[in-house]
Amino acid sequence: MIKNHGQGLRRFVVIRSVDVSGISGTGIVAEGVQFSAGRVVLIWLLEHSSSGIYDNLFDLLFIHSHNEAIIVHWLDVERK
């Protein structure tokens, strides 16, 4: 059985405080959603946008955090 299955989606934005790469900028730089099974989809809000699918939020942060230069701000209340 999948943990949290059927408990809905959680929306979030990614806020970057420092643009290490010089590409993504600062402030709100991406929008995302986490599915009830844990998988995450992220859309970058850039002139030349891209999207990504990650198995979980940890993987997304591991790839994109650049020494903790991003914050995930949840727009929906946390699942119980």
pLDDT above 70: residue 60 = yes
Residue 68: other Cβ atoms inside 10 A: 9
More confidently predicted of 79 and 54:
54
pTM: 0.80
Select the highest-mean-pLDDT range: 3-7, 11-15, 61-65, 76-80.
11-15
| Domain range annotation of the chain | 10-74
In this predicted structure, what is the pLDDT of residue 70? 85
> Residue 1 — very low, low, confident or very high, per pLDDT cuts 50/70/90?
very low
Residue position matching structure tokens 């699942």: 79
More confidently predicted of 66 and 44:
44
